[in-house]
Structure 1
């Protein structure tokens, strides 16, 4: 079916977007998951196939949807084993900011839009806290003056938002907000993501998954000049502790969004392995999934210690070091388990 469109009303065809959500993911994975589900792909199989550690010094931005990616290839960073492409864009004409949105919807394509929670009536932060966030646009009714928005992040919402309020959110300066040191102070600028899945993913088999796992673990053990794998993690932690000891609160403000990216990826990869272990009657693979999920949960201790300690980074440094040590041990156990699982597949 084609998208439904009248002179001033544009709506995607078929059902409303799926509210795809997992407890440890951010709005980035949730919105990509909605797009993948709409294209007939299994979001977990695509977003959960890859697993890495990558830190790019100086790159971290105060946005819930921050994700480290080399050469700006966000789709490849989120799904390195699949043909997923993602491109940021902004309206070309300030006198008609809806033109590209209309075109996407007319082509039966969702639009992922950056917004400021402060201006969205359905977000708990409405009128209270500025924070950069992502939502899905699936309809536009300029006659009634509403935008149809889907947001899987709790409390979850799917419905109409007045155009005036959405425009304020979509074009917000997202100023510095003392109530949110991690996702404010980042101009929204009416940014949007065009996400497209190229080649339809092949059904996941033990052989295919084994290849993914071998590639993933090579990334953890190979020596490179970039901050990747276990060596990259060690360099990241050494710098983090050094900056804390020097009283640099920026180190802990960056830790929260960066850590969420790594946490979400580990969570999805672990869940995928657990699910495959169950479906293929392979308890060892399922246990490997739980080992990877333990990495995701260990990130919680480090991220939240940083969140509570950013007002006094020197005092927080010993606890940061403690949680970083626990997290590294979880990484080592999980990488060893995945290497062993890959050898069996």
Structure 2
């Protein structure tokens, strides 16, 4: 039997991880626009639930898609089969039902990955078909160098059943976490909100609220970000694992920041609102600060004490860039009053934007 689902189109954002590329491929297959769906929400949340996975999303271990796209009614669920045979039969059944599948895999066993036979890591990609007679599966992995096409079922099975061990000093960040043959199912509940100025304004207002007035300021929003970075640098000298923690946490935040910048830029282009394009540029600046901080902490492993002053300076610049963007967003929102309720989002009125904290509106 042979099944190859179409259309399955590679999708990638330059700052995204395998989580975002995989989600983008699956969303596009269902006819949804990945840039809009994945770019609408922007914030910070880290409750300390570190997981050594390339597809890590802080605070959303059980429902990655809800964390990626909270304004679009998306939800996902992990499936953990008892072993490789059961794992393949479950994925095969999904493919026979017409649904491409996101599977966790160790790059060490994937011939098209640069890490093949060199570095272990906990990766995510899409399986969109199989050929029983040829003993092959069809996979889509847009993460550079990018691959779409056949892969032996034996290689996929080894990658999905890997213990993902640490064997040398190149096995960093996303190892020591067995793959476990896991695969991901997802669904969209309810109608998708249209990409209108009203939706964009409501999403922006919710993002601003989440960053300036989070439900738990210890773990979320701008207060949570400050607490996370300050706490990390206080522990850095005595706790080498802080390097991995900051590097891993920064990855998805960098990705969502870049995606949100593109979301605002697209909204500005389609509406002819130059103010949105300028806000997009400022959000992109926040992404640049995240990229610099992530690189700096990744290279601090050899001499953490010497790197600490520079890391603190970069953190201060990052937080300052958030403050500047939030102030600009507040000024923009103070002149916007959405007139239509968008399904799945609470109505945001002019009065609510007037109530934004002083650091946003001034």
Normalised by the size of structure 1, how large is the TM-score?
Answer: 0.93
Check the 8 A contact 2:138/2:151 in 1, yes or no: yes
Aligned to 2:227: 235
2:120 corresponds to 1:130: yes
Q: CA deviation at 1:72?
A: 2.9
Aligned to 1:3: none
Check the 8 A contact 1:211/1:342 in 2, yes or no: no
| Aligned length in residues | 334
Partner SS, residue 299 of structure 2: helix
Check the 8 A contact 1:41/1:200 in 2, yes or no: no
Q: Pick the aligned partner of 1:192 from 176, 180, 183.
A: 183
Q: Deviations over 1:291-340 (max 9, x none)?
A: 11111111111111111112332222112111111111111112222222
Specify whether residues 35 and 95 from structure 1 end up closer, same or farther in structure 2 by C-alpha distance, changes over 3 A only.
Answer: closer
Q: Pick the aligned partner of 1:266 from 257, 267, 272.
A: 257
Check the 8 A contact 1:11/1:106 in 2, yes or no: no
CA distance in 2, matches of 1:93, 1:164: 14
Partner SS, residue 160 of structure 1: strand
Ranges in structure 1 where 5+ consecutive residues have no aligned partner: 1-5
Q: Pick the aligned partner of 1:10 from 3, 21, 39.
A: 3
Aligned to 1:342: 333
Q: CA deviation at 1:91?
A: 2.3
Partner SS, residue 187 of structure 1: coil
2:287 corresponds to 1:277: no
2:130 corresponds to 1:140: yes
Partner SS, residue 86 of structure 2: coil
Specify whether residues 95 and 208 from structure 1 end up closer, same or farther in structure 2 by C-alpha distance, changes over 3 A only.
Answer: closer
Check the 8 A contact 1:114/1:132 in 2, yes or no: yes
Specify whether residues 133 and 51 from structure 1 end up closer, same or farther in structure 2 by C-alpha distance, changes over 3 A only.
Answer: same
Ranges in structure 2 where 5+ consecutive residues have no aligned partner: 337-362
Q: Pick the aligned partner of 1:112 from 102, 107, 132.
A: 102
Cα RMSD (Å): 1.5
Aligned to 2:143: 153
Aligned to 2:236: 244
Normalised by the size of structure 2, how large is the TM-score?
Answer: 0.89
Check the 8 A contact 1:111/1:194 in 2, yes or no: yes
Aligned to 1:320: 311
CA distance in 2, matches of 1:337, 1:105: 46
CA distance in 2, matches of 1:72, 1:299: 26
Q: Pick the aligned partner of 1:81 from 67, 71, 81.
A: 71
CA distance in 2, matches of 1:77, 1:343: 27
2:162 corresponds to 1:172: yes
Aligned to 2:356: none
Specify whether residues 327 and 164 from structure 1 end up closer, same or farther in structure 2 by C-alpha distance, changes over 3 A only.
Answer: same
2:210 corresponds to 1:222: no
CA distance in 2, matches of 1:344, 1:79: 26
Q: CA deviation at 1:194?
A: 0.9
CA distance in 2, matches of 1:319, 1:157: 38
Q: Deviations over 1:234-268 (max 9, x none)?
A: 1001111011132x111111111210110001100
CA distance in 1, matches of 2:61, 2:106: 26
Aligned to 2:286: 295
Specify whether residues 295 and 325 from structure 1 end up closer, same or farther in structure 2 by C-alpha distance, changes over 3 A only.
Answer: same
2:53 corresponds to 1:63: yes
CA distance in 2, matches of 1:96, 1:80: 32
